[in-house]
Amino acid sequence: MKKNILIVPGDGIGQEVTAVGKKVLDKIAAKYGHEFTYDEALIGHAAIEATGNPLPDESLEKMKKSDAVLFGAVGHPKYDNDPSAKVRPEQGLLKMRKELGLYANLRPIKLFDELLGASSIKPEILKGADILFFRELTGDIYFGEKGRKDNGDTAFDIAQYSRYEVERIARKAFEAAMTRGKKLCSVDKANVIETSRLWREVVQQVAKEYPEVEVEHQFVDATAMLLIKDPKRFDVVVTANLFGDILTDEASQIAGSMGMLASASIGDGTGVYEPIHGSAHDITGKGIANPMASVLSAALLLDISFGMKQESEDVINAVDQVLKAGFRTGDIADATTPKEKILGTDAIGEELL
Ligand code: NAI
Ligand code: MG
């Protein structure tokens, strides 16, 4: 199969881990006789430095034309402590999601057995946990009207959802539930928030089309607690943009490290595949970032955008094999890991496939 993949490394460790993700795609292409061609595009701080714009039109055009995007992360410490900065790296990320119509963010939380000890949660609570989050990605408080009044002393952000927006993400989650355990948990705050009441109403309506799926509605505060108390109770989880952002970072602890978690953003056009972590400036340039989140993002890309199930499973198995062989990056190593098994970003990438 011929495919054209856009590599968008972004900032910080985005550069380091995406390089490994791309190498894995190359190995898969060679193994299965596919022809993958690549182009690169700028986003985030790197794009601001080069063009003044966190998502230049040229990058957006390339994204729209490609068959899939492998993305890294955006961010730079200079913006984190400067809330007044008008041009910011994450504007590039939000614009990319909006312009490409990427309304569904899939975040599989899968714990590799070998990493049971890497989490701060007890192994007996974790073993067998396997959750697929659907986070709505182009609505909610992130994209609503925002601003200041009273001479800047009062700030506001408006959360807004339309029936249509909730319906399409709910349907995606129900479709996924049908291919998994036929269990879906919808998370909201319908006791207090109006957008949540619409959310619950619409999910209940869509549920009628999927009578086989067992549906549970939870308030987000309860979900935050239950994720840690009993992660195995969850299968497919669907939730709004803000709740999903927070809950999936929390859920990353089920998988042992942010460095292990991949995501797929899909919707109307080109799919974008990226680690859930950020640009991690505390470790940038040290060559120690865990590249597995990018590698597993490449696996999602193969499966979802290209329909290459076998190839995708091959990549996931390769990650499993490397872990079984005892290799670790620093973030997933523990006191029992021998020093010679702790590898850097490129070296652990070389062990794959
Ligand atoms: P972060 O996800 O970059 O890092 C959090 C912690 O996890 C750090 O201690 C980091 O070293 C560690 N970590 C993350 N990924 C790792 C990996 N692959 N291997 C080993 N350790 C890893 O979040 P943080 O520190 O809050 O933000 C850093 C910058 O990233 C900020 O500028 C922020 O705005 C940006 N950011 C960007 C995101 C994106 O592009 N999607 C998402 C989250 C943050
Ligand atoms: Mg986040």
Cα pseudo-dihedral 198, 204, 210, 211, rounded to 10:
180
CA dihedral 243, 244, 245, 251 (to 10 degrees): 110
pLDDT score at 334: 87
- The answer to whether residue 63 is domain-embedded is yes
Query: Of residues 221, 268, 334, 346, which has the active-site annotation?
Result: 221
Number of separate domains in the chain:
2
Q: Is residue 331 part of a domain?
A: yes
In tens, the pLDDT along 148-170 reads 999 999 999 999 999 999 999 99
Report pLDDT for 79. 93
Residue type, 205: Q
- The closest residue, in CA terms, to atom 33 on ligand 1 is 75
Ligand 1: residue of 87, 263, 279, 345 to mutate (most ligand atoms within 8 A of CB) is 279
Write out pLDDT tens, residues 105-116: 999 998 898 998
Q: Do 250 and 126 have their domain in common?
A: yes
**Does residue 86 sit in the same domain as residue 153?**
no
Domain termination site, one of 254, 283, 311 = 254
Nearest listed ligand to the Cα of residue 248: 2
Residue 83, classified by CB atoms within 10 Å of its CB into exposed (0-12), middle (13-18) or buried (19+), is: exposed
Does 109 map to a domain?
Answer: no
Final residue belonging to a domain, choices 206, 234, 254: 254
CA distances from 157 to 88, 140, 162, 187 (A): 18, 10, 17, 21
Question: Which residues of the chain have a pLDDT value below 50?
Answer: none
| pTM summary value | 0.93
Residues with CB under 6 A from ligand 1: 13, 17, 73-76, 80, 90, 93, 258-259, 277-283, 289-290, 293, 331
CA 238 – ligand 1 centroid, Å: 24
Domain that holds residue 177: 120-254
Clarify whether residues 248 and 318 are in a common domain.
no
Phi, psi of 283 (to 5 degrees): -120, 5
User: What is the number of the ligand 1 atom nearest to the C-alpha of 13?
Assistant: 18
**CATH number for 233:** 3.40.718.10
Question: What pLDDT score does 324 carry?
Answer: 96
Name the residue with tokens 């505390």.
282
Centre of ligand 1 from the C-alpha of residue 328, in Å: 19
Residue 177: what pLDDT?
A: 98
Whole-number Å distance, alpha carbon 37 to ligand 2 midpoint, is 30
Atom 1 (ligand 1): residue with closest C-alpha? 278
